[in-house]
């Protein structure tokens, strides 16, 4: 036993407990709990916030058993590629068993944060009725619930502070869920219902805002008209974060003038989003707010012209996070580069999802941003074309990237200038950005890019690959080189059994691996599953005709269409639907 450890053991557990209070990051706490048995024990009784990156890696019983003082739980369900329709509906990720188990064990749950999970109305009702101190519900990219479930939350959670619905698919029953907040509810700090499609009772909304004096964040949906926004801002000038609903009105009207004045009075707004329906001529009303904004999301604002966007951004000198559509164009990005010197995160989304023929951005915009914004560390960029030269320049200008996601609209487009693969460009990025933790590559790419990634991307935790590589070597470079890799997702690439089976132990150090439309066969997946009992290897069929059928039809030599494997402590899941076959 080292001296330090023996010294620490003289401290009563209360002291350790107090010390651990200062550890907020779950990674730190995970590390601490591995030191020795007594630290493990103290830590587990003191941990209140738990993060579970894959809901099938453990189960509710083990969670509650280990962390009886649990107050705040974050859970993630479906694999990331479910966002892009690659995972069949009904794959799984239901939250009900978790809520049920915590309710039974009388966990004092206060916060629940879910991403890509299936949340039923029953779950929400059970949640609302089981935890008297429940304060915060954050749902990101979830589905399965209706506004009836929201009504249950509003009616029953007496101390609710936060109801944050981000990009969920909600069945809107138009049932006045908002009116279900009782008059006694004054505790709301954050309310985001931007993703709801139906109308809300605006009178109830105005009254709610008026009585919740601590309200700091409010994001409305597109049915809330500008007149109502104006009245709300008069009631709540203390807001930090505003999501407008519809932002369209006659700019010559009295309502619009009143809105302008109300906005001038909102000195605390630092984050602005919404504009779900917008008249460009109404934008000047927000100019007074722009000067203090640190975050701006215009990526859902349809039909704004590049010059209108640029004029708005020109006022946003303190912006740190900007989400925008590619209608801004390369020139507009030039304005961003000249204006937004504090910019850290930029996301440029494609506007032309239905082939209407809008011009997109190119490598020029990206280069301009990299040159003008020295603090840039995170980017998501959908573009029409890219060049190695541009990426090399970007790498030189911005060595501080932690997240770099590039998405060419044509997934295999080569360098627009030289017609070569984009290997060298991405190679420069990984070589220069030593702190890179997340990378998505696209365009025409050979095994060479993976050689670079394996060689240089030492901190890489998440890698997304599509339509890239030539052979198993590509995947091997990554598996062998990226020591900190946690999530690897691959689609439509020629990686096969040799790569999959070369280092099976590696997958226990990772959260998950997704491979679809690759070259791996059923036989190899079976071998992997047999050798690695602590992995779940799931084969997901296209045809929802039942795994029984699938099992009979598939030969070991057949290629597997979709494979998802993940480490787990609890064996094959019991809720897998017919079309998911756990080997």
Partner 1 sequence: MSTEIGSILSEMESSACLKTELTLGLPGGGAAPSKPGSKRGFGDMADLKLGVGCDRGDEVSVSTPPPSKEQVVGWPPVRSYRKNMMKSCKYVKVAVDGAPYLRKVDLEMYSSYEQLLAALEEMFTCLAICDVMNERKIMDSANGIEYVPTYEDRDGDWMLVGDVPWNMFVETCKRVRLMKSSEAAIGLSPKTSSNGLSMN
Restricted to residues 471-530, the positions that interact with partner 1 (CB under 8 A) are 471, 491-494, 496, 517-519
Nearer to partner 1, 102 or 513 (CB): 513
**Residues 15-74, interacting with partner 1 (CB under 8 A):** none
Nearer to partner 1, 180 or 319 (CB): 319
Rounded distance between C-alpha atoms, residue 496 and residue 502, angstroms: 10
Burial of 89 (0-12, 13-18, 19+ CB in 10 A): exposed
Inter-residue contact 171 to 146 (CB < 8 Å) = yes
Nearer to partner 1, 33 or 444 (CB): 444
Of 475, 454, 477, the residue nearest 465 (C-alpha): 475
Nearer to partner 1, 127 or 416 (CB): 416
**Residues 239-268, interacting with partner 1 (CB under 8 A):** 248, 250
Inter-residue contact 189 to 209 (CB < 8 Å) = no
Nearer to partner 1, 277 or 424 (CB): 277
Applying CB under 8 A, among 33, 59, 136, 168 the residue interacting with partner 1 is: 168
Could you give the string, one character per residue 540-579, with x where binding to partner 1 holds by CB under 8 A and - elsewhere?
-------------------x--------------------
Inter-residue contact 141 to 164 (CB < 8 Å) = no
Could you give the string, one character per residue 69-98, with x where binding to partner 1 holds by CB under 8 A and - elsewhere?
------------x-xxxx------------
At residue 155, φ and ψ (nearest 5 deg) are: -75, -35
How many helices (H) and strands (E) the chain has is answered by 22, 25
At residue 144, φ and ψ (nearest 5 deg) are: 105, -5
Q: In this structure, how many other beta carbons lie within 10 angstroms of the beta carbon of residue 129?
A: 14
Q: Does 277 bind partner 1 (CB under 8 A)?
A: yes
Applying CB under 8 A, among 6, 184, 419, 574 the residue interacting with partner 1 is: 419
Nearer to partner 1, 91 or 300 (CB): 300
Q: How far is the CB of 127 from partner 1 (least distance, A)?
A: 22
In order, the DSSP letters of 176-189 are: -GGGGS-TT-----
Nearer to partner 1, 409 or 501 (CB): 409
Applying CB under 8 A, among 176, 264, 311, 403 the residue interacting with partner 1 is: 311
Residue for token pair 């946690």: 486
Of 5, 17, 63, the residue nearest 43 (C-alpha): 17
**Residues 205-224, interacting with partner 1 (CB under 8 A):** none
Q: Does 310 bind partner 1 (CB under 8 A)?
A: yes
Q: How far is the CB of 520 from partner 1 (least distance, A)?
A: 11
Q: How far is the CB of 140 from partner 1 (least distance, A)?
A: 10
Q: Does 274 bind partner 1 (CB under 8 A)?
A: no
Q: What is the largest CA-CA distance in the chain?
A: 78
Residue range at the interface with partner 1 (CB under 8 A); choices 15-23, 92-100, 103-111, 165-173: 165-173
Q: Does 329 bind partner 1 (CB under 8 A)?
A: yes
Applying CB under 8 A, among 42, 137, 296, 407 the residue interacting with partner 1 is: 407
**Residues 90-149, interacting with partner 1 (CB under 8 A):** 141
**Residues 431-450, interacting with partner 1 (CB under 8 A):** 444
Burial of 282 (0-12, 13-18, 19+ CB in 10 A): buried
Nearer to partner 1, 235 or 521 (CB): 521
Q: How far is the CB of 146 from partner 1 (least distance, A)?
A: 16
Burial of 206 (0-12, 13-18, 19+ CB in 10 A): middle
Q: How far is the CB of 264 from partner 1 (least distance, A)?
A: 21
Alpha helices in 402-457 (DSSP H): 423-432, 447-456
> How far apart, in Å, are the Cα atoms of 160 and each of 131, 189, 212, 219, 432?
11, 8, 11, 16, 46
Rounded distance between C-alpha atoms, residue 237 and residue 266, angstroms: 5
Residue range at the interface with partner 1 (CB under 8 A); choices 21-29, 41-49, 295-303, 430-438: 295-303
Q: Enter the tokens of residue 573.
A: 């899941």
Q: Does 279 bind partner 1 (CB under 8 A)?
A: yes
Could you give the string, one character per residue 340-369, with x where binding to partner 1 holds by CB under 8 A and - elsewhere?
---------xxxxxxxxxxxx---------
Q: How far is the CB of 241 from partner 1 (least distance, A)?
A: 19
Size of the site for partner 1 (CB under 8 A): 73
Q: Does 334 bind partner 1 (CB under 8 A)?
A: yes
Q: Does 339 bind partner 1 (CB under 8 A)?
A: yes
Nearer to partner 1, 12 or 302 (CB): 302
Nearer to partner 1, 125 or 415 (CB): 415
SS3 track for 81-115: HHHHCCCCCCCCCECHHHHHHHHHCCCCCCEEEEE
Torsion from C-alpha of 501, 503, 506, 508, nearest 10 degrees: 50
Residue for token pair 């409305």: 220
Q: How far is the CB of 466 from partner 1 (least distance, A)?
A: 7
Q: Does 226 bind partner 1 (CB under 8 A)?
A: no
Rounded distance between C-alpha atoms, residue 325 and residue 309, angstroms: 10
Strands (E), 298-389: 321-325, 345-349, 378-383
């Amino acid at each position: 036993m080292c001296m330090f450890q023996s010294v620490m053991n003289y401290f009563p557990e209360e002291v350790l407990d107090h010390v651990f209070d200062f550890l907020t990051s779950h990674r730190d706490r995970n590390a601490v709990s591995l030191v020795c048995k007594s630290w493990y024990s103290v830590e587990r009784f003191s941990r209140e916030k738990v993060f579970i990156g894959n809901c099938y890696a453990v189960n509710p019983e083990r969670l509650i058993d280990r962390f009886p003082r649990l107050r705040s739980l974050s859970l993630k369900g479906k694999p990331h590629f479910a966002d892009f329709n690659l995972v069949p509906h009904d794959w799984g990720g239901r939250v009900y068993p978790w809520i049920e188990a915590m309710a039974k064990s009388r966990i004092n749950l206060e916060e629940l944060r879910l991403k890509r999970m299936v949340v039923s109305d029953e779950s929400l009702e059970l949640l609302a009725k089981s935890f008297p101190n429940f304060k915060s519900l954050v749902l990101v990219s979830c589905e399965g619930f209706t506004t009836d479930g929201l009504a249950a939350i509003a009616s029953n959670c007496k101390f609710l502070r936060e109801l944050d619905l981000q990009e969920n698919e909600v069945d809107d029953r138009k049932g006045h869920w908002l009116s279900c907040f009782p008059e006694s509810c004054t505790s709301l700090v954050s309310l985001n219902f931007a993703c709801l499609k139906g109308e809300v009772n605006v009178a109830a909304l105005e009254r709610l805002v008026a009585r919740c004096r601590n309200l700091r964040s409010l994001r409305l949906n597109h049915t809330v008209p500008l007149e109502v926004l104006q009245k709300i801002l008069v009631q709540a000038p203390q807001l930090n974060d505003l999501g407008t609903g519809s932002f369209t009105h006659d700019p010559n009207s009295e309502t619009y003038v009143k809105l302008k004045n109300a906005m001038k009075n909102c000195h605390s707004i630092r984050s602005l989003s919404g504009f779900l329906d917008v008249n460009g001529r109404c934008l000047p009303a927000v100019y007074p707010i722009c000067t203090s904004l640190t975050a701006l999301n215009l990526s859902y604002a349809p039909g704004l012209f590049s010059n209108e966007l640029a004029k708005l951004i020109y006022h946003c000198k303190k912006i740190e996070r900007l989400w925008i559509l590619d209608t801004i164009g390369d020139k507009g990005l030039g304005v961003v580069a000249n204006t937004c010197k504090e910019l850290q995160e930029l996301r440029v989304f494609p506007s032309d999802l239905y082939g209407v023929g809008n011009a997109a951005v190119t490598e020029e915009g990206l280069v301009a941003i990299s040159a003008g914004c020295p603090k840039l560390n995170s980017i998501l960029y959908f573009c029409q074309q890219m060049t190695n030269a541009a990426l090399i320049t970007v790498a030189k200008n911005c060595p501080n990237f932690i997240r770099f996601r590039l998405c060419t609209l044509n997934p295999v487009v080569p360098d627009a200038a030289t017609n070569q693969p984009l290997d060298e460009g991405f190679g420069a990025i990984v070589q220069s950005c030593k702190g890179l933790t997340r990378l998505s590559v696209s365009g025409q790419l050979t095994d060479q890019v993976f050689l670079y990634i394996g060689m240089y991307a030492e901190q890489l935790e998440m890698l997304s690959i599509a339509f890239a590589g030539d052979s198993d070597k590509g995947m091997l470079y990554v598996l062998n080189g990226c020591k900190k890799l946690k999530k690897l997702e691959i689609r439509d690439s020629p990686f096969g059994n040799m790569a999959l089976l070369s280092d099976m132990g590696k997958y226990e150090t990772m959260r998950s691996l997704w491979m679809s439309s690759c070259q791996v066969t059923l036989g190899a997946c079976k071998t992997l599953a047999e050798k690695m009992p602590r992995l779940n290897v799931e084969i997901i069929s296209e045809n929802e005709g039942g795994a029984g059928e699938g099992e009979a039809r598939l030969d070991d030599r057949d290629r597997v269409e979709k494979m998802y494997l993940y480490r787990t402590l609890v064996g094959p899941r019991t809720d897998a639907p017919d079309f998911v076959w756990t080997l």
